[in-house]
């Protein structure tokens, strides 16, 4: 009874109950449970191995140079930003970057052994300013503005309200008006704060748009997806052709040849290959030589016959 596995299990359970205070949590797994756990562990290892192999194969492949498709909101955001910047006079028609960014990002004079760095507006703001300049600015702020300066501010605000004729009746009129007022109030704003304000306004405008207004941008995004899929397909085909061309080139380079190298001209010239035996028929000998040879054969035959008779 003691050698029975059930008795062994019972004895083991008693030992564990004595060791641990709470005997309810003591559980000895059955053989089937152990086998099931081993199978699950093997499957998990197999999955991990397949995933690692896929990652390695993907890492070996070259990176796809095709530009990824943009979403509808991103397309709208880029177009709307350009419109707002042009309307406020910050971005001219031929420029891609705001003029304030070009002015603020002037290159600093590099020190010896250092690279050139672009001076951001934040670093300029953090730079120490002399006390006299601060006093002058405070005095200018406290002084009442002249009528010419007020007129100039009104002209700047009016220039900010001007919009292109592409979208005359749109929610963006309010956005451009708000942005122009903000610029007229703060003057030459920091580029980062300007970009943040633009992003907030564009996101608010996109959220207030109706589904029929969003539809053209969604259609444009679908076209972008189709364009991306086609471009990726053509790139993969080109890659496959290039790979097959390389394989054929390597095969052509490896010309099959025998060990001894018989029949190769290069081997014969280098002296590595023995010249082949000449199997061509010999030239015919002159007539006189053939007759003499025949007479000699006949004379030898007669002498042999005579010696045999004498014996």
Same domain, 88 and 14: no
> pLDDT at residue 52 above 70?
yes
> pLDDT at residue 9 above 70?
yes
Write b or e for each residue in 171-205: b if 16 or more Cβ atoms lie within 10 A of its Cβ, otherwise e. Answer: ebeebbeebbebbbeeeebbbeebeebbeebbeeb
Same domain, 32 and 83: no
| Of residues 105, 88, 254, the one with CA closest to residue 176 | 88
Q: How confident is the model at residue 293 (pLDDT cuts 50, 70, 90)?
A: low
37 is a domain residue = yes
Same domain, 29 and 92: no
> pLDDT at residue 124 above 80?
no
What distance in Å separates the CA atoms of residue 197 and residue 97, rounded to the nearest whole number? 16
Same domain, 82 and 208: yes
Lowest mean pLDDT segment, chosen from 97-101, 124-128, 175-179, 182-186: 97-101
| Per-residue three-class SS string for 79-130 | HHHHHHHHHCCCCCCCCCCCHHHHHHCCECCCCCCCCCCECCHHHHHHCCCC
What distance in Å separates the CA atoms of residue 239 and residue 62, rounded to the nearest whole number? 9
User: What tokens does 12 get?
Assistant: 């083991």
308 is a domain residue = no
Q: Among residues 247, 275, 301, which one ends one of the domains? A: 247
Which residues are 118's β-sheet partners?
A: 107
pLDDT tens digits, 180-197: 776 666 655 566 777 788
- Is pLDDT larger for residue 161 or for residue 15? 15
- Is pLDDT larger for residue 262 or for residue 162? 262
How many helices (H) and strands (E) the chain has is answered by 12, 0
Same domain, 192 and 78: yes
Amino acid 50: pLDDT? 93
User: What tokens does 104 get?
Assistant: 């603020």
Same domain, 38 and 176: no
- Is pLDDT larger for residue 213 or for residue 30? 213
Same domain, 196 and 76: yes
Q: How confident is the model at residue 198 (pLDDT cuts 50, 70, 90)?
A: confident
Q: How confident is the model at residue 99 (pLDDT cuts 50, 70, 90)?
A: very low
Q: Biggest alpha carbon distance in the chain?
A: 165
310 is a domain residue = no
Q: What is the mean pLDDT of residues 218-241?
A: 90
Number of domains in the chain: 2
272 is a domain residue = no
Same domain, 43 and 178: no
283 is a domain residue = no
Q: What is the mean pLDDT of residues 39-60?
A: 90
Cα three-residue angle 65-68-72, rounded to 5 degrees: 160
DSSP state of 3: T
| Of residues 4, 181, 176, 185, the one with CA closest to residue 87 | 176
User: What tokens does 175 get?
Assistant: 């956005």
Same domain, 77 and 45: no
Element (H, E) at 139: helix 131-142
Residues contacting 98, CB < 8 A, separation 6+: 85, 90, 91, 191, 194
| Residue 76: CB atoms within 10 Å | 22
List C-alpha distances in Å: 134 to 146, 160, 218. 21, 29, 52
Which residues are 107's β-sheet partners?
A: 118
DSSP state of 24: G
9 is a domain residue = yes
What percentage of the chain has pLDDT greater than the value 90?
Answer: 14
Same domain, 15 and 85: no
List C-alpha distances in Å: 185 to 11, 68, 289, 303. 87, 39, 128, 144
What percentage of the chain has pLDDT greater than the value 70?
Answer: 49
Lowest mean pLDDT segment, chosen from 31-45, 102-116, 257-271, 273-287: 102-116
Q: Among residues 220, 247, 274, which one ends one of the domains? A: 247
- Rounded to the nearest integer, the mean pLDDT of the chain is 68
**Under 8 Å between Cβ of 76 and 175:** no
User: Which structural domain, as residue segments, surrounds residue 217?
Assistant: 70-103+152-161+171-247
Same domain, 209 and 243: yes
**Under 8 Å between Cβ of 70 and 184:** no
Same domain, 85 and 208: yes
Amino acid 168: pLDDT? 36
Amino acid 76: pLDDT? 92
Amino acid 154: pLDDT? 54
| Of residues 91, 116, 115, the one with CA closest to residue 101 | 91
130 is a domain residue = no
293 is a domain residue = no
Amino acid 215: pLDDT? 92
């Amino acid at each position: 009874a003691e050698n029975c596995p059930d008795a062994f299990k019972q004895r083991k359970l008693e030992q564990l109950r004595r060791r641990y205070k709470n005997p309810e949590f003591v559980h000895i797994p059955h053989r089937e449970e152990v086998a099931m756990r081993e199978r699950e562990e093997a499957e998990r290892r197999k999955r991990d191995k397949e995933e690692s192999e896929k990652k390695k194969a993907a890492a070996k492949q070259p990176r796809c140079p095709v530009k990824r498709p943009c979403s509808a909101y991103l397309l709208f955001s880029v177009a709307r930003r350009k419109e707002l910047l042009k309307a406020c006079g910050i971005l001219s028609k031929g420029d891609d970057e705001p003029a304030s960014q070009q002015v603020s990002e002037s290159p600093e004079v590099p020190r010896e052994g250092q690279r050139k760095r672009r001076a951001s507006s934040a670093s300029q703001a953090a730079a120490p300013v002399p006390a006299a300049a601060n006093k002058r600015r405070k005095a200018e702020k406290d002084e009442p503005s002249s009528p010419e300066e007020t007129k100039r501010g009104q002209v700047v605000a009016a220039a900010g309200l001007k919009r292109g004729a592409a979208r005359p009746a749109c929610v963006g009129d309010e956005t451009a008006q708000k942005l122009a007022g903000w610029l007229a109030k703060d003057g030459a704003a920091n580029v980062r704060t300007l970009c943040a304000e633009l992003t907030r306004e564009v996101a608010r405008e996109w959220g207030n748009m109706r589904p029929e207004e969003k539809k053209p941008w969604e259609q444009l995004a679908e076209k972008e997806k189709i364009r991306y899929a086609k471009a990726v397909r053509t790139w993969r085909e080109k890659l496959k052709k290039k790979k097959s061309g390389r394989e054929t080139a390597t095969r052509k380079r490896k010309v099959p040849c025998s060990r001894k190298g018989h029949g190769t001209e290069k081997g014969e010239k280098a002296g590595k290959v023995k010249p082949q035996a000449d199997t061509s028929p010999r030239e015919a000998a002159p007539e006189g030589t053939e007759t003499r040879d025949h007479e000699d054969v006949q004379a030898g035959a007669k002498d042999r016959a005579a010696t045999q008779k004498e014996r």
